[in-house]
Amino acid sequence: MSTITAPAAETLTVLGRMGEHDHEEVLFCHDRATGLKAIIAVHDTTLGPALGGTRMWPYATEAEALNDVLRLSRGMTYKSALAGLDLGGGKAVIIGDARTQKTEALFRRFGRFVDSLNGRYITAEDVGMSTTEMVNIRKETKYVAGLPEEMGGSGDPSPVTAYGVFCGIKAAAKTAYGADRLSGRKVAVQGAGNVGRHLVGHLIKDGATVYLTDIHDDKLAAIKAEHPAVNIVKPDAILSLDVDIYSPCALGAVVNNDTLRTMKCSVIAGAANNQLADESVHGPALMEKGILYAPDFLINAGGIINCSWERRGYDRKAAMAQTENIYNTALAIFKRSQEEKIPTYLAANQAAEQRVRSMRQAGLRF
């Protein structure tokens, strides 16, 4: 087990990237025996230890993985701050194919890297991961959340994440259309993973007409079997559908120069992290186009809320109640955006930064 030491020029580049948004620490992890290649990023620990999931994805380059983990970890700081949690922001990515490269040894090696941070970072599930991997990581470190309920954990966080996104969608509908009832609304869901699957159930139950896509046909088939009313569409067709609400629930950067030209929705609200390819460009562009954007780190906080309850004794009813408050927080952010005439992402950023800054000024740090 070893830590990758980058050449001097690369170190300057990484440190420069860290300085852009004040990241505290980035750990590069490598283990030849297991094939582990991972990056752990700790963005901010002002409010508490950095809790954030580990994502397993076959990134094309290490630079792509680094970019993702830096953006994701910053988002976790804002997510916890807006949710009122005493947690900081962190994230980890494992470079690999989650369908073919998972082994117990790999995740136990990863667990040792997590443990080396002595509690500054607590890991949990994200894309490509499950409670099975959390159990293997837990064999090497106690800094794990999202463990099975039989082990005293909160289990799979995706149902709670999906419920929070659903609450955020209803808040967006209330703001955009004057009523949060989704009956008669057309919703395009991109991503049929665990969160997407549960979200589809909530949407259909509330009367929405749902269009769904994914790159994996088996996931689509499973949801279609569970919810026959869902309409399956091809991945390249989802963004140009004439719908009321577009709900990205796969990977990020789906709102960019190319997709903005084809979008016909009036609301964007989904579970995917970092939906705006460049928030300073595409946040204002959405506002100019009259599309209400529900910041991802605002409405997909249900998972981290759920995991946070493991630290104080898991209570699912309390976790769901706290997640339901995403509706009120989202309404407040949308109102701030309208009153100050600023993009919703900026209104959410400022609210999160304000909470972190107030704790720093009071000298209250983890």
Q: Which residues are catalytic?
A: 91
Rounded CA-CA distance 29/276 in Å is 28
Quickly list H helices, 279-325: 279-289, 296-299, 302-308, 316-324
Rounded CA-CA distance 302/317 in Å is 12
**DSSP conformational letter for 307:** H
Helix/strand/coil percentages in the chain, nearest 5: 50, 15, 35
Rounded CA-CA distance 238/228 in Å is 18
From edge to edge, which strands make up the β-sheet containing 2-3? 2-3, 25-31, 36-44, 88-95, 50-57, 121-125
Rounded CA-CA distance 312/332 in Å is 28
91, β-bridge pairs: 41
Rounded CA-CA distance 122/51 in Å is 5
Rounded CA-CA distance 107/94 in Å is 10
